[in-house]
Chains A and B, each alone.
Chain A
Amino acid sequence: MKKVFLSIALFVSAIFTVNAQTADEVIAKYITEIGGAEKWAKVQSIKIEGQIEVQGIQIPFTMQGLQMKGMRVDAEFQGNKIIDITTPTKGWAQNPLSGKATLSPISEDELKQKLDDLDIQDAFVDYKAKGSVIESLGKDEEDGNEYFKIKMTTKNGNEKTYFFDTKTNLIYKIESIVKQQGQEMKSEQKLLDYQTTEYGIKFPFKQDQGQMMMVTKKITINPTIDATIFNGN
Chain B
Amino acid sequence: MQLKNKLTGLFLLLVFITNAQNTINSSYFQVMGARPLGPSTMSGRITSIDGISANGQLNLFVGTAGGGIWKSQNGGLSFISIFDKYCQSIGALAIEPGNAKVVYAGAGESNTRNSVSYGDGMYKTTDGGNNWQKIGLDSTERISKILINPTDKKTVYVSAPGPLWNSSKHRGLYKTIDGGKTWNKILYVNEETGCADIAMHPTKPETLFASMWQFRRKAYAFSSGGPGSGLHKSTDGGKTWNKITNGLPEGDLGRIVITINPSKPSEVLAIVEAKVPGLYISEDEGTTWKKLASTENLTARPFYFSTLVYDPKDPKRVYRPAFDFQYSSDGGYSWNNTVIGGIEPHADMHALWINPNNPDMMFVGTDGGIYMSTNKGTAWQFINSLPVGQFYHVSTDNQTPYHVYGGLQDNNSWMAPSSAPGGVTAVDWRWINGGDGFWVQPSLLNSKIIFSESQGGEITKVDLSTGLSYGVRPKKLEGDEEHRWNWNTPIVVGASTKKNAAGKPVYNLYTAAQYVFKSNDDGKNWQRISPDLTTNNPNKINQAEKNAGITGDNTSAENHCTIFTITQDPKNENIIWAGTDDGNLQLTTDGGKSWQNKSAGIWKTGVPENTWISSIEISSLDSKRIYVTLDNHMYGDMHTYAVMSSDGGNTWKKFSSSEFTGFAHVIREDIVNEKLLFLGTEMGLFISLDGGKNWMRSKYQNMPWYNLVRDIKIQPQTNDLVIASHGRGIYIIDNIQPLREMVKSDLAQSVLFYPIQNFKYEYSPQYPQPASNLTGWAAGSKVIAPTFYYYLKERSNSGVKIEIYDAANKKIKDLNASSAKGLNKVYWDLSVNPPKVAQGGYIAQSSVLISSVIGPKVDIGKYKIVVKADGKEYVQNIKIEANPSKGLDAASIALLNKQSMRLFNLHERLFTLVDSLDKTVKVLAKGDTTVPVVKEKLHKLDSFKREIVELNRKSIFFDEFKYRRRVSDLYYSVASGLEPLSTSQEKGITLLEDQFVVFQKRFFELLK
Known contacts: A161-B127, A177-B127. The answer to whether A78 contacts B74 by CB under 8 A is no
B809 to chain A, nearest CB (A): 21
Could you tell me if A144 and B27 are in contact, using CB atoms closer than 8 angstroms?
yes
Chain A contacts of B840 at CB under 8 A?
Answer: 79
Could you tell me if A12 and B844 are in contact, using CB atoms closer than 8 angstroms?
no
Of the residues B131, B700, B815, B844, contact of A98 by C-beta under 8 Å: B844
1/0 per residue, CB under 8 A from A, across B819-859: the answer is 11110000000000000010111111100010011000000
**Which residue of chain A has the shortest Cβ distance to B819 in the bound complex?**
A192
**Which residue of chain B has the shortest Cβ distance to A78 in the bound complex?**
B852
Interface segment out of the listed A39-47, A179-187, A222-230: A179-187
**Which residue of chain B has the shortest Cβ distance to A149 in the bound complex?**
B131
How many angstroms from the CA of A11 to the CA of B7 in the assembled complex?
13
- B3 interface residue (CB < 8 Å to A): yes
Known contacts: A57-B853, A182-B55. The answer to whether A97 contacts B816 by CB under 8 A is no
Chain A contacts of B852 at CB under 8 A?
Answer: 78
Chain B contacts of A161 at CB under 8 A?
Answer: 127, 130-131
**Which residue of chain B has the shortest Cβ distance to A101 in the bound complex?**
B842
1/0 per residue, CB under 8 A from B, across A168-204: the answer is 0000000101010111101000001100000000000
How many angstroms from the CA of A144 to the CA of B845 in the assembled complex?
40
Could you tell me if A143 and B843 are in contact, using CB atoms closer than 8 angstroms?
no
Chain A contacts of B28 at CB under 8 A?
Answer: 144
- B412 interface residue (CB < 8 Å to A): no
- B11 interface residue (CB < 8 Å to A): yes
How many angstroms from the CA of A183 to the CA of B842 in the assembled complex?
33
Could you tell me if A151 and B126 are in contact, using CB atoms closer than 8 angstroms?
yes
Chain A contacts of B113 at CB under 8 A?
Answer: none
1/0 per residue, CB under 8 A from B, across A35-61: the answer is 000000000000000000101110000
Could you tell me if B73 and A79 are in contact, using CB atoms closer than 8 angstroms?
no
How many angstroms from the CA of A99 to the CA of B842 in the assembled complex?
10
Could you tell me if A80 and B11 are in contact, using CB atoms closer than 8 angstroms?
no
Chain B contacts of A9 at CB under 8 A?
Answer: 10
- B719 interface residue (CB < 8 Å to A): no
- A135 interface residue (CB < 8 Å to B): yes
- B795 interface residue (CB < 8 Å to A): yes
B86 to chain A, nearest CB (A): 11
How many angstroms from the CA of A138 to the CA of B127 in the assembled complex?
13
Could you tell me if B821 and A144 are in contact, using CB atoms closer than 8 angstroms?
yes
Could you tell me if A137 and B131 are in contact, using CB atoms closer than 8 angstroms?
yes
Could you tell me if A141 and B699 are in contact, using CB atoms closer than 8 angstroms?
yes
- B956 interface residue (CB < 8 Å to A): yes
Could you tell me if B815 and A56 are in contact, using CB atoms closer than 8 angstroms?
yes
B150 to chain A, nearest CB (A): 23
- A15 interface residue (CB < 8 Å to B): yes
Chain B contacts of A108 at CB under 8 A?
Answer: none
How many angstroms from the CA of A56 to the CA of B828 in the assembled complex?
11
- B489 interface residue (CB < 8 Å to A): no
- Which residues, 125 to 152 on A, are CB-close (under 8 Å) to B? 135, 137-138, 140-141, 143-145, 149, 151
Chain B contacts of A215 at CB under 8 A?
Answer: 799
How many angstroms from the CA of A193 to the CA of B797 in the assembled complex?
5
Could you tell me if B797 and A192 are in contact, using CB atoms closer than 8 angstroms?
yes
Chain A contacts of B130 at CB under 8 A?
Answer: 161, 175, 177, 186
1/0 per residue, CB under 8 A from A, across B11-38: the answer is 1011001000000011110100000000
- B503 interface residue (CB < 8 Å to A): no
Chain A contacts of B798 at CB under 8 A?
Answer: 193
Could you tell me if B128 and A11 are in contact, using CB atoms closer than 8 angstroms?
no
Known contacts: A8-B7, A96-B844. The answer to whether A184 contacts B956 by CB under 8 A is no
1/0 per residue, CB under 8 A from A, across B687-713: the answer is 000000000000110000000000000
- A72 interface residue (CB < 8 Å to B): no
Could you tell me if A80 and B956 are in contact, using CB atoms closer than 8 angstroms?
no
1/0 per residue, CB under 8 A from B, across A73-100: the answer is 0000011100000000000000011110
Chain B contacts of A159 at CB under 8 A?
Answer: 127
Taking A4-B7, A96-B844 as known contacts, 4 extra A-B pairs with beta carbons closer than 8 A to each other, sorted by chain A number, are A144-B26, A145-B27, A161-B130, A161-B131
Task: Identify 18 residue pairs between A and B in the complex whose beta-carbon atoms are under 8 Å apart, listed by A's number.
Answer: A11-B14, A55-B816, A79-B843, A96-B842, A97-B844, A97-B849, A99-B845, A101-B844, A143-B30, A144-B28, A144-B30, A144-B699, A144-B700, A161-B127, A182-B57, A182-B73, A192-B795, A192-B797
Write the residues of chain A forming the contact surface with B, with a CB cutoff of 8 angstroms. 1, 4-5, 8-9, 11-12, 15, 53, 55-57, 78-80, 96-99, 101, 135, 137-138, 140-141, 143-145, 149, 151, 159, 161, 175, 177, 179, 181-184, 186, 192-193, 205-206, 213, 215
Write the residues of chain B forming the contact surface with A, with a CB cutoff of 8 angstroms. 3, 6-7, 10-11, 13-14, 17, 25-28, 30, 54-57, 73-74, 85, 126-128, 130-131, 133, 699-700, 795, 797-799, 814-816, 819-822, 837, 839-845, 849, 852-853, 956
Query: What are the 8 closest A-B residue pairs judged by CB atoms, nearest first?
Result: A144-B27, A182-B55, A193-B797, A182-B57, A183-B73, A79-B839, A182-B56, A144-B25
